[in-house]
Amino acid sequence: MVKATKISEVRDQVRQWKKEGLTVGLVPTMGFLHEGHMSLVDKAVSMCDRVVASDFVNPTQFGPNEDLETYPRDFERDCRLLEEHGCHMVFHPEVSEMYFDDAATYVEILSDMPKQLCGKTRPIHFRGVCTVVSKLFNIVTPDKAFFGQKDAQQLAIIRRMVRDLSFGIEIVGCPIVREADGLARSSRNTYLNNEERQAALILSKAVFAGQKMAEEGEKDANKIVAAMTEMIESEPLAKIDYVSAVDGVSMMPVDKIEGSVLVAMAVYIGKTRLIDNFIVEG
Ligand code: PAF
């Protein structure tokens, strides 16, 4: 596996691959890889001739009081995992390689889409995500890019950005990967102590309960959200940021389960903010 830290190294290698007629897949990550990331890499390896993973903790998507400094990092371990899963190149740039000191250009969706759900408490988050993902698209020029359904709003926003800016890249969404007991895999799970790890199960329990209600025919989105909210509130260590039902494409709130609906949540367990969701087709 090639380890690149410079944009020019990535460009040279990808140019070579494309000259050979090979297709290229991109898996953007912030590192500290877990099985969720590896499922994206596996999917990319199965669909593309060459796979590039980026491993970059992107400062522009963190708010001033968020966990940029403490975000977990282990590049050596990441490389071992990527290599084991057949990744061909990892791009691990310094912040200074990705952002000029006086960088003043951002990519931002100006509809209400990024203001919903996570955007309510993380107002600059999706601008940072769209900016870094656009840069990675310009650097790697992949045919396909792979994103997890756990970050459902991010996935919807990237699809919209790719459409609006004619990137010509196929976005492949991949299912949520869970621990054996249901907890959705996340690099931030590492922040949880034993008691919090146990309490965090309330997210997936609420997801499964909401999913069951929807599968059994409940069409009132508010009733599903209310039942999930009550369940989460019964866990003393949990503090809800949001539990919401929104249209699966526009991310705008809905009252009815009609078409594709995303039921998503963000919940603090102690100081750790975790997300989880499910999609229901009404
Ligand atoms: O989902 C993530 O890990 C990040 O938001 C991404 C897409 C790698 C951009 O920094």
pLDDT digits (tens, 9 = 90+) for 240-280: 999 999 999 999 999 999 999 999 999 999 999 999 999 99
Q: What pLDDT does residue 242 have?
A: 98
Q: What is the CATH number of domain 2-174?
A: 3.40.50.620
Write the pLDDT tens digit of every residue in 169-228. 999 999 999 999 999 999 999 999 999 999 999 999 999 999 999 999 999 999 999 999
| Residue of minimum CA distance from atom 7 in ligand 1 | 28
Nearest alpha carbon to residue 276 among 166, 148, 159: 148
What pLDDT does residue 249 have?
97
Taking the C-alpha atoms of residue 43 and residue 64, their distance in angstroms, rounded to an integer, is: 34
Q: Is 125 a catalytic residue?
A: no
pLDDT digits (tens, 9 = 90+) for 109-125: 999 999 999 999 999 99
Nearest CA to ligand 1 atom 2: 29
- Please give the pLDDT value at position 185: 98
Return all residues near 47 (Cβ < 8 A) that are at least 6 apart. 25, 144, 172
* pLDDT score at 41: 99
Q: Where does the chain hold its CATH 3.40.50.620 domain(s)?
A: 2-174
- Listed in order, the ranges of the chain carrying CATH 3.30.1300.10 are 187-277
User: Which of 37, 85, 88, 125 is flagged as catalytic?
Assistant: 37
Tell me how long the chain is: 282
**What are the E-state strand segments in 80-210?**
89-91, 144-148, 170-174
Fold of 187-277: Pantoate--beta-alanine Ligase; Chain: A,domain 2 (3.30.1300)
pLDDT tens string 34-92: 999 999 999 999 999 999 999 999 999 999 999 999 999 999 999 999 999 999 999 99
